[in-house]
Amino acid sequence: MEYKPLVIPDVVLLIPKVFGDERGFFMETFRHEEFIKYCGNYQFVQDNHSSSKQGILRGLHYQHQKPQGKLVRVTRGEVFDVAVDMRRDSPSFGRWVGEYLSETNKRMLWVPPGFAHGFYVTSESAEFQYKCTDYYNPGDEYSLLWNDDTVGINWPLSVGPTLSAKDQESQLFANCPYFASSS
């Protein structure tokens, strides 16, 4: 596995070694000791799996009191995956990074606690799977508005986006609760 820090270095792109032939492929998707070395000492407690149609935009979500780190990947289709730094003391506070994740490139993205996270489905449909460092806590859920001009995410929209009712009520960056420290 190659671990590639992005423009916001706490967000890491994981590029697996894929071994394939006419029968199919094999790849390792997680090795705890390497993850600790390149991404930090985190334990995963919950795995999630979602399916979405083209044009669906989910996010930008985060939990404030019980922040979740997420190791995300796409097992069918393609998404444009985005992380926004919500850590007030961070040098990249308010900045975003985005990567295409797909069943073809098999890449994964580590989004540490302290970031808002979301994705836009660019293929006909997509299956999105992710590991979390803390449990889902509905009373602690926040959503940053996907098209806030302050953040300026350059979404690759071809259709939509289609948002959930909850995501339509997301907050502007200026009104969101931030994390007090980048540590």
pLDDT-based confidence at 20, cuts 50/70/90? confident
Name residues whose C-beta falls within 8 Å of residue 123's C-beta, 6 or more positions apart in sequence.
Answer: 54, 77, 78, 79, 102
pTM above 0.75, yes or no: yes
> How far apart are alpha carbons 14 and 99 in whole angstroms?
11
Has domain 43-175 been given CATH number 3.40.50.300?
no
Task: Return the domain boundaries, the chain.
Answer: 43-175
CA atoms within 13 A of residue 43's CA, in its CB half-sphere? 2
What pLDDT score does 181 carry?
A: 63
Q: Which of 42, 62, 120, 130 is catalytic?
A: 130
Q: Which of 3, 42, 61, 135 is catalytic?
A: 61
Task: Work out the average pLDDT over 161-183.
Answer: 90
130: annotated active-site residue = yes
3: annotated active-site residue = no
